[in-house]
Amino acid sequence: MVRITLPDGGAKDYPPGVKPIDIAREISEGLARKSLGALFNGGLIHLDRALTTDGTLRILTDRDPEALQILRHSAAHALAQAVKRLRPDAQLGFGPAIEDGFYYDFLVDTPFTPEDLEVFEKEMKNIAKEDIPITCEILSRKEVVDRLKKMGEDLKIAHVNDLDEAELSIYSQGDFADLCRGPHMPSTKQLKNVKLLATSGAYWKGDENNPMLQRIYGTAFFSKEDLQAHINMLEEARKRDHRVIGKQLDLFMLSDEAGAGFVFFKPNGAIVVDVLKKFIEGELVRRGYDLVITPHLFKKELFVTSGHLSHYSENMFLAKHASEDQEYTVKPMNCPGHILIYKSELRSYRDLPKRFFEFGTCYRFERSGVLHGLTRVRNLTIDDAHHFVRPDQLEDEIIGLLDFANFVYKTFGYEYIVKLATRSADSIGTDENWEAATDALAKALKKIGWDYVIDPGGGAFYGPKIDIFVKDAIGRTWQLSTIQVDFNLPERFQLEFIDENGDKQRPRIVHRAIIGSIERFLGAYIEHTAGAFPVWMSPEQARVLPISEKTNDYAVEVAKSLRDLGFRVKPDLRNEKVGYKIRDGRMMKVPYLLVVGPQELDSGTVSVNEREVGDTGKVTIGEFAERLEREGRIPASTD
């Protein structure tokens, strides 16, 4: 017998092979009719999956957020079915559910067009109306290959040859079948609220040496209202695209001459980066950090010791000079450098915690197909710190970091979601260390009363972590902050401190980034604010607009007097009408436009035009300077 435990804590023994749908029917026929899938021991499964081990079971309906992933995976199969009906020559690639929808890759001779997507979407809706049952078969590798040969799916056969499993699953719906782990919906009838969004090229298995496939992106929801809300959000996201706004505000550039994925911050963007750094640096002083600077190039062996080379070699840039045999690594992360600084001298228990901070620029090889503006780059500057702590200090250190993160994200107007990521499949270290590290993170979160969800298997290879996902103005989430507890690198590098008894002890390391990559943070923040930075962060805090050439000199005088006080102010002396200058200033998201004409010249005032509200009347230069002083001050946690 197998013991199945339900969400209410009740448990019952069943014969091996019982299916979730059988248990749903036992609970009620109504639940069985609404059932779409199940969670078994935390993993999504098909309703017809035979249960052969003890476990916890939850039946999923369209009210459960987990069911959305099943819906979208099934929508990907409906897309593939529609394409095969209309383009029988298309070969199947992969078709998973992703965070906001799904995609499917196809090998075709002729790239898809937007008109093709309209036709495919119409056929998907026909498939939903047909209410086709979706079934799963577990077959031997030979049976699967024979089936795929009859279907002419050469890519799928190649994929089977890369797998180790003795048995594989085929999901079928009417005239369509696909090699797939599942799970899927009971039928296609729930797939009526779908939208195909875009098409792009994608290499088979992400390898540039493989054929280029055509990828179709789409999304699906249980209700028409949710689908429309998502489409509206996507339209708003297009308006907020940081690549478009970044060009409009002249913040940054990318250059094919320099190489894909390498970011250049132009003068306006450099100001924003500099102010952001000063904001973080002000908090570092208050929170007891030591600033360090480490090289960009290290011997390769350092990353062998750390374990990064064996886990991240495909994302690392290697270098070697012709005059010597030594291989070097362009640093993909800062932790080994900070560890070497810690090791450079004997440490006492009284010295700890020791907090080393660096705005460290790292270099990671991201495939060209995933590069995206500032949010996916090859050079990234991280507000990176490593805390070397005694075991008895660990919980308080994590609490301090959570307070730091809370202050930062409240400053930028973000709400956030917290996840505790547990041991990953490629992890190193002992079970005991992993349990202790995970327990320390969980205790810190509980002590300060933060809600969090578990991210099973999402930890770094050396330790578990807390990841903070901020929610932007249109409801999207961005993972920025991370706090990671590491028992393993102290062992690998033989780190020590001398305790109160004179004995050598092993410190713990807390890896942390609060804003994370400056590039990614700014990409997300540009989209959160639509480029309308707060005054303290704006590259140009005010612009002085003379009505005519007669007040050009006064405009220059006003701008200079404010610049002398430390504010970022420029005069606009172009021979254009003031209305044009105001529109241009608004397009550039300048917080304050100061209009000056003969009346302002005579009275020593400026007419203030605010970014959000328009004309707010005349003030003296001194009064406006006081306003800039209040709003332009870099925030601090002591305010």
Average pLDDT over residues 605-609: 97
Of the candidates 283, 196, 231, 221, the one whose C-alpha atom is nearest the C-alpha of residue 68 is 221
Of the candidates 280, 285, 303, 464, the one whose C-alpha atom is nearest the C-alpha of residue 384 is 280
**CATH number listed for the domain at residues 72-226:** 3.30.980.10
CA dihedral 191, 194, 197, 200 (to 10 degrees): 10
Name the pTM for this structure.
Answer: 0.84
* Percent of the chain surpassing pLDDT 70: 100
Q: Which two tokens stand for residue 491?
A: 């062992």
| C-alpha to C-alpha distance for 418 and 425, rounded to whole angstroms | 21
Q: Is 467 in contact with 481 (CB distance < 8 Å)?
A: yes
In sequence order, the 6+-apart residues with CB closer than 8 A to the CB of 286 are 636, 637, 638
Q: Which of 382-393 are b and which e, b meaning 16 or more Cβ less than 10 Å from the residue's Cβ?
A: bbbbbbbbbeeb
**Which CATH homologous superfamily contains domain 2-60?**
Beta-grasp domain (3.10.20.30)
Q: Which CATH class is domain 252-295+333-529?
A: alpha beta
Tens-place pLDDT, residues 489-531? 999 999 999 999 999 999 999 999 999 999 999 999 999 999 9
Tens-place pLDDT, residues 378-426? 999 999 999 999 999 999 999 999 999 999 999 999 999 999 999 988 8
**CATH number listed for the domain at residues 535-632:** 3.40.50.800
In the numeric block, the tokens 């690594």 are attached to 329
Tens-place pLDDT, residues 80-135? 999 999 999 999 999 999 988 999 999 999 999 999 999 999 999 999 999 999 99
What is the pLDDT at residue 370?
82
Of the candidates 484, 493, 491, 488, the one whose C-alpha atom is nearest the C-alpha of residue 343 is 493
The yes-or-no verdict on residue 619 having pLDDT over 90 is yes
Task: Write the DSSP string, 448-517.
Answer: TT---EEETT-SBTTB-EEEEEEE-TTS-EEEEEEEEEESHHHHHTT--EE-TTS-EEPPEEEEEEEEEE
| C-alpha to C-alpha distance for 186 and 386, rounded to whole angstroms | 49
- Which pLDDT band holds residue 268 (cuts at 50, 70, 90)? very high
Of the candidates 122, 264, 277, the one whose C-alpha atom is nearest the C-alpha of residue 192 is 122
Domain spans of the chain, in order of start: 2-60, 72-226, 252-295+333-529, 535-632
Indicate the helix (H) or strand (E) that contains 524: helix 518-529
Of the candidates 593, 500, 494, 479, the one whose C-alpha atom is nearest the C-alpha of residue 543 is 593
Q: Which two tokens stand for residue 315?
A: 């994302």
Summary mean pLDDT of the chain:
94
Q: Which two tokens stand for residue 444?
A: 């810190």
